[in-house]
Amino acid sequence: MQIYKVGGAVRDRLLGLPVTDVDWVVVGATTEEMLAQGYRPVGADFPVFLHPKTGEEYALARTERKSGRGYGGFTFHASPEVSLEEDLIRRDLTINAMAEDGQQNLTDPYHGQRDLENRVLRHVSPAFAEDPLRVLRVARFAARYAGLGFTVAPETLELMRQLSESGELQALTAERSWKEISRALMEDQPQVFIQVLRDCGALKVLMPEVDALFGVPQPEAHHPEIDSGIHTLSVLEQAARHKQPLTVRWACLLHDLGKGLTPEEEWPRHIAHEHKGLKLIKTVNERFKAPKDCQELALLVGQYHTHGHRALELKASTLLELLQSFDVYRRPQRFEEFIVACEMDARGRKGLEQRSYPQADYLRGAATVARGVAVQPLLEKGFKGPELGEALKRERLKALKAYKESR
């Protein structure tokens, strides 16, 4: 029995990055031998075990063969005869197909170390094209390592393009797709993830609503970058740069989908794009079964982001309606995420990345004023039920008018 550290732990150590998750491969062992040493089985489809003390995953060396569509369409074969090289060749990228023993002696049959040095994301073998999930994974790695200068090898991008055109991407489950998308959006440069998907034709398969934004112009006075797709990438970049949570990044990606529906004769204006985009945002949310908080914020940002930009001009009554729509009294955090999404939208414009956004503090102040209106005095006056709600609304409107006049 020989045990090797494999995959990301080896890759990140060689890159000088922190190693978080460690995967192990066991060569020359049987299931019975693993159980005899106290390892606990966890894999239903193939032999994976948890170490009796550390709880880390140890997998028996295995080969795989395509047997159906999609991510799960594989049969696995694990036995003591499977070599380390045979196990490594089934992996996605050369930089993930390296192993090291307990003395850090490197096994690198597919030149992963060379590709690390050259900053290239390259597939290990033609079997790469058998797993559609790898399109998303490679795009995610591109987003993670873009800051180090990594790019996707042209021949790998071509395989990704073939996969995108094959219909295999449609076989991915919503859960698997969302897991990759959500992880990619939380990388340092999530806009690279979207760009790579577009470069290989996967974006128009997975998110045609986002893909449709590229090539659609906007008024240059407000959008020096002009292209709606480029703007969306820039907004996403700003959200990552400012360390925003997944909810905000998802909303930033989807906020302008309505612009993809504008007839060409109306370009570069996009009248009522906020309302037109809601159906598309809902469709994308449902396609990937995004978490409820992501879905809700994306819809609210899509509908109200231009309200955010015009906050200083809004009438007190419109401001109150905006606050009510977000339920700022019970869910203040959601309104805060809306504010920062609007700020990322304002900064995601060529040459305007450092612009100030006074609307943010103005909206925060308005929310504080509205929440500060006390209910007790109205109860003491005898208001109850629907009448109490209307009285509270009147008092909040009065407070917002005073706030607006004081600014």
Q: Angle of helix 228-241 relative to helix 246-254, nearest 10 degrees? A: 170
Tell me the C-alpha distance between 199 and 193, whole Å: 10
The rounded Cα 19 to chain-centroid distance in angstroms is: 22
Helices and strands (H and E) in the chain: how many: 19, 11
Binding positions:
8, 11, 21, 23, 91, 137, 140
Give exposure, 213-230, as e/b (b: 16+ Cβ within 10 Å). Answer: bbebbbeeeebebebbbb
d(CA 139, CA 152): 8
Give the pLDDT of the chain (407 residues) as one tens digit per residue: 899 999 999 999 999 999 988 999 999 999 899 999 999 998 666 689 999 999 899 999 988 765 455 445 446 677 888 999 999 999 999 999 999 999 999 999 999 999 999 999 999 999 898 899 999 999 999 999 999 999 999 999 999 999 999 999 999 999 999 999 999 999 999 999 999 999 999 999 999 999 999 999 999 999 999 999 999 999 999 999 999 999 999 999 999 999 999 999 999 999 999 999 999 999 999 999 999 999 999 999 999 999 999 999 999 999 999 999 999 999 999 999 999 999 999 999 999 999 999 999 999 999 999 999 999 899 889 888 999 989 999 999 999 999 999 98
Handedness of CA 216, 217, 223, 224 (dihedral sign): positive
Q: Which residues contact 105 (CB under 8 A, 6 or more apart)?
A: none
User: What's the confidence (pLDDT) of residue 72?
Assistant: 52
Q: Partners of 210 in the beta sheet? A: none
User: What DSSP letter does each residue of 318-341 carry, written as one string?
Assistant: HHHHHHHHHTTTT-HHHHHHHHHH
Phi, psi of 71 (to 5 degrees): -65, -35
- Mapped onto helix, strand or coil, the DSSP state of residue 38 is coil
Residues that constitute the known binding site for CTP: 8, 11, 91, 137, 140
Angstrom distances, CA of residue 192 to CA of 80, 93, 119, 208? 41, 18, 15, 17
What dihedral angle (degrees, nearest 10) is formed by the CA atoms of 123, 129, 134, 140?
Answer: 60
CA angle at 173 for the pair 11 and 164, rounded to the nearest 5°: 70
pLDDT of residue 63: 82
Residues at the binding site for Mg(2+) are 21, 23
pTM of the model as a whole: 0.92
Point out the annotated binding site for ATP: 8, 11, 91, 137, 140
Residues 140 and 193: beta-carbon distance below 8 Å: yes
